[in-house]
Amino acid sequence: MKKTTFNVITKNLILGLFVIMLTASFTSCSKKVAFQTSTIVPAARGDVKVTKDENKNYLIQIKLENLAEVKRLDSSKEAYVVWMETEDSMVKNIGQIKSDSKFLSSKLKATFETVTPLKPTKIFITAENDSEVQYPNNQIILTTGNM
């Protein structure tokens, strides 16, 4: 009789731990998507990681490498601007990319991070004359496509 009770308790504990682990994996669900190759800055590479947090907000993290300085582009713009497209096709300026170019660094690196309550379906980067523009121009530097 004691052996059966012990097995039932052990079985319930293992099942409980499994449910907790499964629930935790759903609450911190993240998606990582690579940017498509750019025709304007072909050497640029990067990815976007979108994570839904416990407050049902979306953390967007971008890592980029080999992104040319924005002033070196043919169109000589002032800022790289990150845009997000939502499920209802709304396009929103979510910030400016700050590059990290160090002396004697062989790669231009940049990172970006923001939080939004809206679910992103596409992330893209444009070169703009002003970082606070409300609508993107037609020159897309990098895009994820649909997520």
Domain ranges of the chain: 29-143
Question: Residue 105: what pLDDT?
Answer: 52
pLDDT given at position 4: 61
Mean pLDDT in runs of 10 for the chain (147 residues)?
64 68 58 94 95 94 92 86 95 87 62 95 96 94 92
Phi and psi, residue 126, nearest 5°: -125, 165
- pLDDT given for residue 126 in this prediction: 96
Farthest-apart Cα atoms in the chain, separation: 81
> What confidence score (pLDDT) does residue 87 get?
92
Q: Residue 100: its pLDDT value, please?
A: 58
Sequence-distant (≥ 6) Cβ neighbours of residue 94 within 8 angstroms: 60, 82, 83, 84, 114, 116
pLDDT value at position 75?
80
pTM: 0.77
Q: What is the dihedral of CA 109, 115, 120, 124, to 10 degrees?
A: -30
Strand-pair partners of 113 = 61
pLDDT value at position 137?
93
Task: Say which residues have a Cβ less than 8 Å from residue 61's Cβ, sequence separation at least 6.
Answer: 48, 49, 50, 51, 111, 112, 113
- Whether 108 and 101 have beta carbons less than 8 Å apart is answered as yes
Q: pLDDT at position 142, please?
A: 96
